[in-house]
Amino acid sequence: MRQRVPLLRDLPVEVTVLASIAFFVALGFGIVIPSIPIFADSFGVSALAASAVVSAFALMRFVSSPLAGAWTNRFGERGVLATGLAIVAVSSFFAGLSQSYAQLLILRGIGGIGSSMFTVSAMALLLRVVSADQRGRASAAWQGGFLIGGVSGPAIGGLVLAISIRAPFFFYAGTLAIATIVAIVFLSPRRIAQREKAVEAEGGQENERASGWTELKQALRTRAYRAALAVSLASGLTTFGLRSALIPLFVVEGLKQGPSLSGWAFLVAAVTQALLLLPAGRLTDMRGRRPAMIIGSVASVVGMGMLVADDLATGSPSLALIVFFVSMGVMGVATAFIGSAPSAVVGDIMGGRQGGSVVAAYQMVSDLGAVVGPLVGGLLLDLYGFDYAFAFGAAISAIALAFVLVMPETLRKSAQA
């Protein structure tokens, strides 16, 4: 008989610490991100230049991820994590003091480097301190911290922005300072070393240490890791790319509704994701990574497909609204399952070893999707309409599903007993 897996109570304390850090990071980011273009515009620059401040952070985060992976392998997860958080905190504080557009642009770029250091090292640490039958739930808890912070941030951001146009940067620096202190105080090096040694021992002799880049080459040879990369790319492209960029436009231009409706739609997706994150993580640890990834990928295909149908059904406003909100709920299902299972696959492949480069590549493809998604989606929208843009997202999700269908299960049999 299959043993029932608890939701959280058997997870190491490091998971709670990392989830708390994720909350503070996402809280501050949600507060500062709406104010960045407004602050940049105050220097009298063009709309393109103002938007470039946001892009600079994302670009530097993307290009510095390989370095973050190498530094994580060389110096250890805890040190790189705390240093990355401190870099974003200090750069954000001085960004709030910027006296020119150039200063703001450079400081946000520096912040992107720190962000990649934090993200790669934190995920690598998370996957190294939990055993095989805990990775799904640990990843879900980590994503939950980001989700709660991300939802709370914009709600507080309006109040902070009312104080001063520079205030959100100082508030962001404050939440990051708290996260840095939490990392230094509550992530014990001795306990982390003990946990990593125990998890590595579970993998047996196949877990002999190798250099980070050799490890990445080995990982790329496995169908499971390639499937995780495909799902990460599709998720970044659809969730953080197409959905974020096109849904507000679709609400106004396609559904002929007020812009506030898009906020309710994103809330539906976020609530659905929040309700299913931990159950999805438990399923990942009980039944395996592959079933959870299939559910998430199928939901992504269905959700994007419903948006295609919704665009074609806009002649019936009531029906279009119903299909729209259902599709957003389905996308919430997709992000819940995709938020835990692929990262658990990465952890299985690492098997307790150092894997900064493996995690960095996994994170990079998601960032790449988030950058490419809005560009391709916007081009398809301009040339052909919303249905083609959403169909592109469905097609990418279907390709990721094909990778998942042919991948082997990576959850060890002993962990499923």
Q: Is the pLDDT reported for residue 180 higher than 50?
A: yes
CB neighbourhood size of 44 (10 A): 8
**Minimal CA–CA distance to 289: which of 166, 182, 133, 99?**
133
Segment 332-356 shows an average pLDDT of 88
Beta-carbon contacts of residue 26 (< 8 Å; ≥ 6 apart): 145, 146, 147, 148, 149, 150, 153
Residue 8 is predicted with a pLDDT of 62
The domain spans of the chain are 13-202, 217-410
Q: Is the pLDDT reported for residue 341 higher than 90?
A: yes
Q: Of 41 and 272, which is predicted with more confidence?
A: 272
Residue 314 is predicted with a pLDDT of 63
| Dihedral sign (CA 271, 272, 278, 284) | negative
Segment 385-413 shows an average pLDDT of 92
Task: Write down the CATH number for the domain with range 217-410.
Answer: 1.20.1250.20
Task: Give yes or no for a contact between 88 and 178, defined as CB atoms under 8 angstroms apart.
Answer: no
The whole-angstrom separation of Cα 269 and Cα 320 is: 17
pLDDT tens digit sequence for 104-146: 999 999 999 999 999 999 998 998 888 888 899 999 999 999 9
What would the two tokens of residue 341 be?
A: 């299972």
The whole-angstrom separation of Cα 340 and Cα 280 is: 7
The whole-angstrom separation of Cα 98 and Cα 101 is: 7
The whole-angstrom separation of Cα 222 and Cα 416 is: 21
The whole-angstrom separation of Cα 299 and Cα 254 is: 23
Q: Of 314 and 22, which is predicted with more confidence?
A: 22
The whole-angstrom separation of Cα 20 and Cα 32 is: 19
Task: Give yes or no for a contact between 318 and 257, defined as CB atoms under 8 angstroms apart.
Answer: no
Beta-carbon contacts of residue 43 (< 8 Å; ≥ 6 apart): 100, 101, 104
Residue 7 is predicted with a pLDDT of 57
Residue type, 166: R
pLDDT tens digit sequence for 46-84: 867 776 787 788 889 889 999 999 999 889 899 999 999
Segment 89-98 shows an average pLDDT of 95
Task: Give yes or no for a contact between 240 and 366, defined as CB atoms under 8 angstroms apart.
Answer: yes
Helices (H) and strands (E) in the chain, counts: 19, 0
What would the two tokens of residue 275 be?
A: 């309700």
Residue 38 is predicted with a pLDDT of 81
Give Dmax over CA atoms of the chain in angstroms: 67
CB neighbourhood size of 278 (10 A): 19
Segment 292-301 shows an average pLDDT of 96
Q: Is the pLDDT reported for residue 279 higher than 80?
A: yes
The whole-angstrom separation of Cα 321 and Cα 317 is: 6
pLDDT tens digit sequence for 19-48: 999 999 999 988 888 788 788 888 888 867
Q: Is the pLDDT reported for residue 413 higher than 70?
A: no
Segment 219-246 shows an average pLDDT of 90
Confidence of residue 235 (pLDDT cuts 50, 70, 90): very high
Using a pLDDT cut of 70, give the percent of the chain over it. 92
Comparing 13-202 with 217-410, is the CATH topology the same? yes
Residue 250 is predicted with a pLDDT of 87
Q: Of 316 and 399, which is predicted with more confidence?
A: 399
Confidence of residue 203 (pLDDT cuts 50, 70, 90): low
Backbone dihedral angles phi then psi of residue 314, each to the nearest 5 degrees: -65, -10
Q: Is the pLDDT reported for residue 416 higher than 70?
A: no
Confidence of residue 6 (pLDDT cuts 50, 70, 90): low
Q: Of 61 and 7, which is predicted with more confidence?
A: 61
**Minimal CA–CA distance to 153: which of 323, 29, 14, 289?**
29
Q: Is the pLDDT reported for residue 213 higher than 60?
A: no
- In CATH terms, 13-202 corresponds, of 1.10.260.40, 3.30.56.10, 1.20.1250.20, 1.10.3230.20, to 1.20.1250.20
The whole-angstrom separation of Cα 154 and Cα 33 is: 9
Q: Is the pLDDT reported for residue 206 higher than 50?
A: no
Beta-carbon contacts of residue 173 (< 8 Å; ≥ 6 apart): 28, 89, 90, 92, 93, 96
pLDDT tens digit sequence for 145-156: 999 998 888 778
Q: Which bin fits 256, alpha (ψ -120 to 50), beta or left (φ > 0)? A: left
Residue 210 is predicted with a pLDDT of 40
